[in-house]
Structure 1
Amino acid sequence: MMHVDWKHVAVTLAILPFAVVFAAWIGFFNVGASSGHWKITDWFLHFAMQSAIRTYALAVDVPRELPHHAVQTAAGHFARGCAICHGAPGEPRSPAVLRMLPQPPDLAERVSGWSDAELFRIVKHGVRFTGMPAWPSQKRDDEVWAMVAFLRRLPALGPEAYRDLAYGPAGSLVDRPATFQQALAECTRCHGVDGRGRSTATPVIAGQRESYLLQSFAAYAEDRRPGGVMGVVAKAIDRRHWRDLAAHFASLPASRGRAGAATALLEPGKKLATEGDASRRIPACLVCHASRDRNPAFPSLAGQPAPYIEQQLRLFRDGQRGDSGYGHVMREVARPLSDNDIAALATYFATAESRPAHPMASARD
């Protein structure tokens, strides 16, 4: 029977950390990227990564359905922030990226190996020691889930379908938009040439006040309004183009409202928007968001997509929505709203006409 000398084991364990530090100090470990890890090291690192992701994904609350309505917005972000390393349909990874260690995978080939919860964990928090960054805003889980929905669709996308989703009429993007036309193309990729959005996850910016659009740009660029998608875009566009972009979209025809509202939600939403609910200290939305002489920092909500309105109200209610100066007001307003209130308001505003002449005008329609 083998005898274990615990004294020797203890001494070895005590010396081991110093030996490792000494090996690092003399430069024993080769950190060059011209060759890969030992096979055992490579296996262990991947094993540790997969195990950690699997374990931490257990705490992820997966929605009943992925937000497929937001796939276009996620595709636009993928084109700017992800495709450079992972490639995209019709856009192979560059030779430089293929020399990275570890090499970023072709996601179209790999996403099927991860669950929705695991993909969420990877996208939101990134992976250390790989160059995979965390999502730009840790307060926007809705954007992360949109990216998961896009990744689920990615394997089936051909080059043409991907280009339409990611670029729209712009056709491509540049790393740092230098001219006004390049900056405008950066916006129209998601907001469309008419400013009315290419998906129901994207707000209508056509006809909004120029000052509101400028304040929004600044809030995103300065991280006062969390947004993984818009934060990246606002930082990429040179500030000297902001005013011209705001003026351009402010000059476009405003939305005229959308058809197809659920009748059961429309009337409660209209009542809450026009009258509020004094018993719950909820003011009428139209007092601030519909008058022609309203504060320039308050946007028009009429004609906005219902999914977008719902998400913004949830963010306000949960204290996750940043602002350009008046967010604290909306956080207080949204706090008592129920899920049904939010759905009703979103339904009403999606069908409302833009900019009535008086704050209570819609109440008389």
Structure 2
Amino acid sequence: MMELRWKHLAIALTIFPVAIIVFAWIGFFNIGASTGHWKVTEWLLHSAMRTAVKTYALLEVDAPAQLPRHDIGPAAGHFARGCAICHGAPGELVSPSAQRMLPPPPDLTEKVGEWNDAELFWIVKYGVRFTGMPAWPTQARDDEVWAMVAFLRELPGMSAQSYRALSLGQSGRLEISPRGFANAIAECSRCHGRDGLKAGGLVPIIAGQKEGYLLASLRSYADRERRSGIMALPISALDPAVFPDVARHFSRQPSRLRQIMPDEDDRSDGARIVFGGAPDRAIPSCFGCHGNTAIRNETYPDIAGQDEHYIANQLRLFRAAARGGGQNAHLMHKSAERLSDADINALAAFLGALAAKNATPTAAQR
């Protein structure tokens, strides 16, 4: 009798998965989103998601002691273009279409508190299968993902007015399809400011940069040679035909970069590498390529007076060979690979301090 029962159980276990495959293959399984999941299916998927996020975040993510709150502006700009349509935002309702998604995207002002920083990072970077939550546009920019985590931490307490100021910047608006020169400048101004002087860890000063460098950067972002999740959405929305005009516009803005004349008598570690490099470690002088000279390569940017956080961030990306952009990016990979964390911090502090120390006020600053 017992042997017969075991035989029946074995037959049932063999037939059951085959029956499910046949059931799905002939189209009887209703995949429509309008009816929702069965309660047991919803519970299983939700429980599996939460457990997986917590497990992988614990195993894979090292959260920083402090989140980069100085970078929440660009993260807010990305949220406005890529996230708010599904999740809503302070003063903005969720799209009716997003409300019919299965599962419906959560209101993040209510949900971010349920996750720790590492878990939020994992969700933002990798996305969630079987939902509409995509992965971050590039897997090479953890710095941008942490900036988004910092923004999400601020989101629950943010007013509609402060959110709009943070995400829309000086332009005050978000064009779904920013075609034409005027709309392109408005789109850039959300993060860079209309004069190109707004800067931070993820955003460089672009006012007065050489036109060739700016144009090469725009094209590198568009071709995905220079990877950035925050730049991916606006650059894909712009018409490449306006790239030359956009580069020309910002190159002609009054600059606080090229006007700076560093003090060559400075004996700090940062100054030593900027002017003389570190020959014993095959690290070249920064100003050998980036110095204030009219004959410098058109695609080499000005760095004296650039934002300290931005310089440090870019050097770390170059050191990890995660920073592309232009035909000369490999030169920076070679130059940065021998820089220590102390070198990077010293360089960033020296170059960033030049803005306040020696810059001539521009029309926008007077």
Give the structure-1-normalised TM-score. 0.91
Match of 2:21 in 1: 21
Unaligned segments of structure 2, at least 5 residues: 261-265, 359-366
Deviation for aligned residue 1:29: 1.3
Where in structure 2 are the equivalents of 1:87-166 lying within 5 Å? 87-166=88-167
Match of 2:32 in 1: 32
Match of 1:343 in 2: 345
Deviation for aligned residue 1:345: 0.6
How far apart, in 2, do the equivalents of 1:234 and 1:184 lie? 12
Deviation for aligned residue 1:4: 8.6
SS state at 1:48 partner: helix
SS state at 1:195 partner: coil
Match of 2:364 in 1: none
How far apart, in 1, do the equivalents of 2:259 and 2:297 lie? 25
- What value does the CA root-mean-square deviation take over the aligned residues? 2.2
Where in structure 2 are the equivalents of 1:1-365 lying within 5 Å? 5-58=5-58, 59-256=60-257, 267-290=268-291, 291-352=293-354
Deviation for aligned residue 1:3: 7.5
CA gap of 1:258–1:289, structure 2 versus 1, over 3 A, is closer
Paired letter, 2:57: A
Paired letter, 1:48: A
Deviation for aligned residue 1:74: 0.3
Conserved? CA contact 1:72–1:198, under 8 Å? no
Paired letter, 2:225: R
Conserved? CA contact 1:201–1:305, under 8 Å? no
How far apart, in 1, do the equivalents of 2:157 and 2:205 lie? 29
How far apart, in 2, do the equivalents of 1:91 and 1:190 lie? 20
Conserved? CA contact 1:257–1:353, under 8 Å? no
SS state at 1:96 partner: helix
Instruction: Name which of structure 1's ranges 342-351 and 9-18 shifts more when overlaid on structure 2.
Output: 9-18
**1:21-56 Cα distance to aligned partner (Å, 9 max, x none):** 101022221111221111111111101111111111
Runs of 4+ in 1 over 6 A off after TM superposition: 1-4
SS state at 2:268 partner: helix
Q: Kindly, what percent of the aligned residue pairs are identical?
A: 52
Unaligned segments of structure 1, at least 5 residues: 260-264, 357-365
Paired letter, 1:193: R
Deviation for aligned residue 1:11: 3.0
CA gap of 1:240–1:266, structure 2 versus 1, over 3 A, is farther
How far apart, in 2, do the equivalents of 1:184 and 1:218 lie? 16
SS state at 2:209 partner: coil
